[in-house]
Chains A and B, each alone.
Chain A
Amino acid sequence: MSSDELNIVLIGVLGLLGLGFYGLLALRNLVKLVIALQILVKAAILGLVVAGNAGDNIGLSQSLAVTVIVADTVVAVIALALVVQIRRRVGTMDVRDLAQLQG
């Protein structure tokens, strides 16, 4: 992997991170928020593997990436189950409506 290719993939990591951040900040639908979180984690996975490739330690980076994938999947499962429950109980998936709930 040449230096140019490394920089291109790093720009891809930055782009995914930016999109994920923007989604988390700007979106209001709960499912879309989980999707933005997934994009952020994909950026993290790509960053880990790029770092392993550049640092000549691809085995370690792969094992860390596998851990991240497992944790991310569990987070997605729990978040989606919460979204389904919120939709059933409150009847909305809008974050702004949820922020106005009073306990």
Chain B
Amino acid sequence: MLYACLVVIMLFFAVQAIREKRLIMSAVWLAGVSAVLSVLLYLMDAYRVAVIELSVGAGLVTVLFVFAINISGEEAIAARSLLPRPVSWGLVILSVVLLGWFILHLESPANAPQADDAQFTASLWEQRGLDVLVQIVLIFAGTLGLLGLLAEAKAPLEYSVAKAVTAERDRELQTLQDTAQSNEGAEGENS
């Protein structure tokens, strides 16, 4: 019963995150999905992942979303989608039914698994060493990618170059005006 309630709440939050018109509310609903998901993970004995999901999924990612939405601003876009609605619903239902057909026949083992910290630690650090390496590389790649993307925003081409070009043009105009004035002055003296 507890699982059913949690799953229903999680799906409701996810539907709201998709349906919500305001982006910032959509991000908050997504954080709700993360929070309920972490409770579910905790109930399934995955304590470490529950903590990480709660802190990263509901915390860090939500902060990132709010930050990005604040920078870029809300933009109301009419609800018409690229694909016709029946086509997208058909594709979704087809994929969900196919997946459900395959996974809903799983059998639960008679004895519940014992959550073991040593099992997780050994699995992560000893057997899945390559995964940890890939995670480190991913984090560095993400940081570098972010720096590359946002560093350009500090000195955007359009603004700095536009300012430089305008200043150059003003300077040239000023020089032209000065020469024109000096020519006029010379002509006045001659006459």
Contacts and interface: CB of A to CB of B under 8 A. Distances in A.
B188 interface: no
Nearest to B88: A25
Interface string B127-138: 110010011001
Given A26-B85, A56-B109, A94-B75, 6 more contacts: A10-B100, A10-B104, A22-B18, A31-B23, A36-B18, A39-B33
A62 to B, nearest CB: 5
Contacts of A89: 158
A101 to B, nearest CB: 15
B interface SS class: helix
Contacts, number: 255
B112 interface: yes
Interface string B79-105: 011110100110111011001100110
A20 to B, nearest CB: 8
Interface in B1-54: 3-4, 6-7, 10-11, 14-15, 17-18, 23, 26-27, 30, 33-34, 37, 40-41, 44-46, 48-49, 52-53
Interface of A: 1-3, 5-19, 21-23, 25-29, 31-32, 34-36, 38-39, 42, 45-47, 49-67, 69-71, 73-74, 76-78, 80-85, 87-89, 92-96, 99
Contacts of B176: none
Contact of B60 (A22, A73, A99): A73
Contacts of B165: none
B139 A74 contact: yes
B17 to A, nearest CB: 6
A21 B75 contact: no
A1 B114 CA distance: 11
Interface residues of B, number: 88
Interface of B: 3-4, 6-7, 10-11, 14-15, 17-18, 23, 26-27, 30, 33-34, 37, 40-41, 44-46, 48-49, 52-53, 56-57, 60-61, 64-65, 67-69, 71-73, 75, 77, 80-83, 85, 88-89, 91-93, 95-96, 99-100, 103-104, 106-109, 111-113, 115-116, 119-124, 127-128, 131, 134-135, 138-139, 141-142, 145-146, 149-150, 152-153, 156, 158
Central interface residue in A2, A11, A13, A51, by most chain B CB within 10 Å: A11
A49 B138 contact: no
Given A10-B106, A12-B40, A60-B123, A74 B46 contact: no
